[in-house]
Amino acid sequence: MASTGVPLEARAQARADMARARSRTSFDIVPVRHWLHGDAEAWENHAQLVRIVSHEAVVNLPGRPFMSREERYANGQAIINRFNELRIQNQWSDEQLERALLVTGQILPSSLHATAFQPVILRQGSDEQIRLWGPAISARAIIGCYAQTELGHGTDVAALETTATFDPKTDEFVLHSPTLTSTKWWIGGLGRTATHAVVQAQLHLQGKALGPHLFFVQLRSLEDHSTLPGRTIGDIGPKALGAHQAVDHGFLRFDSVRIPRFNMLSKFAKVTREGQYVQPPHAKLVYGGMLYIRAQMNHHAVWLLGKAITISIRYCTIRRQGKVGADGLAPQVISYPSTYYRLLPILANAYVFNAIAHHLHAEYEAMSALLARGDASLLPEVHIALAAMKVLVSTDALAGLDIARRAMGGHGFSEFAGGGRLLADHTPAVTYEGDNYVLDKQVVRAAVKGHQMGVQLPAESLSVFAFLGQLAAPMSAPVSARDLAQTLRYRAANVVKNFAQLKDSTQDPGAEARVSRAVGDAYVAGIAANALEQGLPGGEPVHRLFLLHLLTTVESALADLPNVDSRALRAHIGAACADILPDAIGLTDAFGFTDWELDSALGVYDGAVYDALWERASKSGFNAASPHEKEYKAHIMAILERGRKEVARL
């Protein structure tokens, strides 16, 4: 990828390298961009929102790294306030407002209003409840949060301690926090912002515990925002890695707080005036809100990964390092096999996970439509598919974000690079909405049950259980997408069979994570192979990305596939990377990120990385201080004088 002729000055060379790399794009990125965003209309809507949002001074992306937590929170509230004005001015729908807030690239104080509080009420509330509360929720006349996690209980929702006891005398529920560990904790937007909450609490009826149910609860006055009686509310403090600074994650305790019986979300389960319990059609329906959030998490991970890999590939394209060649130039970092072998599979994952996210969204919507008619037949499978993909996508996205950051070397550690910020924001995704290692257990239980029942589905099935019964030995050198997918299905069927025969899990304590991974890999492989057979926009470059994902997934599973020729497999991976590399910039351009969206000095579109880094550092407020300011007089001067005196005594 080296240029010819007289070497240019480094800054000009960077621009030339980027232009040359972009000119090598061999496919039309427009249909690929439309596919990544859903369709042409979705892309145009996104681009229009970016044009509007990027001109709003309140968003202030360049100033964000220099703000304190208090300033970040205040700025977050200012953004939400301004965007609600824009909602009215532009007649945005709820979805458009949520997307506009996401475009800012920030997790804001009331983000969970749109991503959890509102969707849960719309999906779990009765028609009457939605008619009563829906307009105020949509207009932001109230601001909500989703209060599930407790100080002593997270993923194990069944173990939550907060109680909601029905009092038939007053036709009310009494919410109570009986222990310290029952305190609601980690609730986004609760610390200072939310006026209301959807609260997950154990329903107690006639002395009997009936499991967790959802309740609509007011927390603060709508007159002066003061905390209502019986509620103890506060902020839990700053988060690790400086992440989510604008969000007031909070705690909440109830001291015998009474709410009307009507406030129990009752689309599926309810309590009558006589105190009789009406059961839902399926026990897992109470977790419907969590399933919605997990479905959305896949989309969020894809776009974070897309940003990170765009930044990293662009920077590694213009960065030159190593022995200078005959042309007077050092090699581009992206040209090193050790670099592109790390980065191109991440790019492949972003594309494949995008297909997974769209597929699961369609599955979730189909399940929701059936549930609305009282049919819960799709719920068990969608529940397991979402659990498996929550584990796999969040885990691989987190790993990919860090690999992309590290590939940029020392500059990747700069806040101005943007990669560290993406990594910090995604880090908690592997533990919230179900800790990944706990979700592994759910996936494994379902897989083993299917194995023991002798479930066997058609080869063309895209079910999360399609691997069951696929025990035919794989080819030693699988190359086609279908053969690679079949190899991964064989691996899943085999490890599930072996796990089912395991007498004592303590003999293999890592087995559950491996089995869950095998099930997830097989599910993704089936969808990826089907997408290739159905045809994808972009032709060969996009097809090669999907194939690279399958090849590297098989490579990661070689311990379970002793019959596969590892040398031949890795040769295919090398060839796939070499074929993809000329289109790497085009494939990242297809995400459609503007420089404003990326907010990265290393990921600028034109390759002018060094100019961008210099400009940001030069404008840093930290450089405005005079060396004679108070820090010098109070400390630095004293250190220097003490040192000089010590030297003088020698």
Per-residue model confidence as pLDDT tens digits over 256-268: 999 999 999 999 8
Residue at which a domain ends, from 534, 562, 588: 588
pLDDT, mean of residues 165-179: 97
| Segment among 221-235, 301-315, 395-409, 505-519 with least mean pLDDT | 505-519
Residue 225 maps to a domain = yes
Q: Which of 150, 161, 363, 433 is catalytic?
A: 433
Residue 68 maps to a domain = no
Q: HSE (CB half, 13 Å, CA atoms) of 526?
A: 24
- C-alpha 77/C-alpha 369 separation (Å) is 35
Q: Beta partners for 164?
A: 175, 203
Active site residue 274: no
Residue 492 maps to a domain = yes
Q: Give the domain CATH number at 197.
A: 2.40.110.10
- C-alpha 437/C-alpha 435 separation (Å) is 6
| Segment among 261-270, 305-314, 498-507 with least mean pLDDT | 498-507
Residue 441 maps to a domain = yes
Residue at which a domain ends, from 249, 279, 309: 279
- C-alpha 107/C-alpha 127 separation (Å) is 31
- pLDDT above 90 for 172: yes
The boundaries of the domain holding residue 632 are 622-650
Residue 32 maps to a domain = no
Q: Report the phi/psi class of residue 482: left, alpha or beta, with left for phi > 0 and alpha for psi in -120 to 50.
A: alpha
Residue 292: predicted pLDDT: 83
Q: Give the domain CATH number at 565.
A: 1.20.140.10
Same domain, 555 and 467: yes
Q: What is the DSSP track for 303-371?
A: HHHHHHHHHHHHHHHH-B-SS--TTS-PPBGGGSHHHHHHHHHHHHHHHHHHHHHHHHHHHHHHHHHHH
Residue 454: predicted pLDDT: 84
pLDDT, mean of residues 584-597: 98
Burial class (CB in 10 A: 0-12, 13-18, 19+), 376: middle
Which residues are CB-contacts of 60 (< 8 A; sequence separation ≥ 6)? 75
- pLDDT above 80 for 377: yes
> What is the count of structural domains for the chain?
3
- pLDDT above 50 for 508: yes
Same domain, 270 and 294: no
Same domain, 335 and 241: no
Report residue 348 as tokens. Answer: 């492949």
- pLDDT above 50 for 2: no
Same domain, 134 and 195: yes
- C-alpha 486/C-alpha 474 separation (Å) is 7
Residue 337: predicted pLDDT: 97
Q: Which residue has the higher pLDDT, 509 or 5?
A: 509
Q: Beta partners for 258?
A: 174
**Angle of helix 379-406 versus helix 511-534 axis, rounded to 10:** 90
Report residue 83 as tokens. Answer: 């965007």
Residue 477: predicted pLDDT: 82
pLDDT, mean of residues 30-35: 98
- pLDDT above 60 for 232: yes
Residue 627: predicted pLDDT: 59
Residue 528: predicted pLDDT: 97
- pLDDT above 70 for 534: yes
Q: What is the pTM of this model?
A: 0.93
Residue 306: predicted pLDDT: 98
Same domain, 234 and 300: no
Same domain, 243 and 344: no
The label of the residue with tokens 């925002």 reads 225
Same domain, 318 and 221: no
Residue 289: predicted pLDDT: 67
Residue 104 maps to a domain = no
Greatest Cα pair distance in the chain: 92
Residue 77 maps to a domain = no
Same domain, 222 and 319: no
Cα–Cα distances (Å) from 409 to 316, 332, 334, 397, 417, in that order, read 9, 13, 12, 19, 11
- Please enumerate, by residue number, every residue annotated as part of a binding site: 149, 188
In this structure, the chain runs to a length of 650
Residue at which a domain ends, from 544, 573, 588: 588
Same domain, 271 and 392: no
- Please enumerate, by residue number, every residue annotated as part of a binding site for FAD: 149, 188
Same domain, 567 and 647: no
pLDDT, mean of residues 230-253: 96
Same domain, 196 and 342: no
- C-alpha 435/C-alpha 387 separation (Å) is 10
pLDDT digits (tens, 9 = 90+) for 270-284: 999 999 999 887 776
- pLDDT above 90 for 566: yes
Average pLDDT, the chain: 93
Residue 3: predicted pLDDT: 45
- C-alpha 140/C-alpha 187 separation (Å) is 19
238, 417, 398: which is closest to 316 by C-alpha?
417
Residue 4: predicted pLDDT: 43
- pLDDT above 60 for 82: yes
| Segment among 65-79, 247-261, 444-458, 614-628 with least mean pLDDT | 614-628
Residue 331 maps to a domain = yes
Same domain, 249 and 390: no
Three-state SS for 189?
Answer: coil
